[in-house]
Amino acid sequence: MNLNKKKYSYLLTLLLGLFFLLFQFFEYSLLDFRFSDRVYGRIFFFITGFHGLHVLLGLLFLLINYFIFIKNNFVVNHHLSLEFSIIY
């Protein structure tokens, strides 16, 4: 796989994460219930909110690594930030 294909694949990953967050916020605006609507509303927003936060943080980690990748600062023995973001 050549370098340009890897960059496009990485950008596609970032774009899909961004689309997920946008669709989640769009879904929140269309819901008929709120956080204060009994237990279901609380559980729904709690679980989906934490998942959205997880995706947002992962997206930020991957974005930072993308800029490192563009600058060609990854070397064989020094790429822990990429591994940690992938594990996260």
Question: Which residue segment(s) compose the domain that 71 sits in?
Answer: 3-87
pLDDT tens digits along 20-78? 999 988 988 888 877 777 888 888 888 988 999 999 999 999 888 888 878 876 666 77
Burial 1-36 (b: 16+ CB within 10 A, else e): eeeeeeeeebeeeeeebeeeeeeeeeeeeeeeeeee
Q: What is the pLDDT of residue 33?
A: 79
Q: How does residue 3 score in pLDDT terms, banded at 50, 70 and 90?
A: low
Q: What is the pLDDT of residue 65?
A: 84
Tally of structural domains, the chain: 1
